[in-house]
Amino acid sequence: MPQVPPQPEPEEHLPPQPGPDPEVEAEPKEEPPQAPKPSLDGATSALQDATLRIEGTDEALLRACDGTLRGPGQLAHGRYDLLIRWPDGEEHLEALELSPGARVTVHVDERDRSCVVRTA
> Where along the sequence are the contacts to other proteins (CB under 8 A)?
10-28, 31-32, 34-35, 37, 39-42, 54, 58-61, 63, 66-73, 83, 85, 89
Q: State the maximum Cα–Cα separation within the chain, in Å, rounded to a whole number.
A: 62
Phi/psi of residue 33, nearest 5 degrees: -75, 160
The CA-atom distances, in angstroms, between 51 and each of 25, 41, 71, 120 are 49, 17, 11, 10
Question: Which residue number, 58 or 109, has a Cβ lying nearer to other proteins?
Answer: 58
Q: Minimum CB separation from other proteins for residue 58, in Å?
A: 5
Question: Which residue number, 76 or 116, has a Cβ lying nearer to other proteins?
Answer: 76
Q: Minimum CB separation from other proteins for residue 51, in Å?
A: 15
The C-alpha atoms of residue 35 and residue 33 are separated, in whole angstroms, by: 7
The C-alpha atoms of residue 91 and residue 70 are separated, in whole angstroms, by: 16
Question: Which residue number, 77 or 85, has a Cβ lying nearer to other proteins?
Answer: 85
Q: Minimum CB separation from other proteins for residue 49, in Å?
A: 15
Question: Which residue number, 83 or 117, has a Cβ lying nearer to other proteins?
Answer: 83
Q: Minimum CB separation from other proteins for residue 94, in Å?
A: 14
The C-alpha atoms of residue 20 and residue 61 are separated, in whole angstroms, by: 34
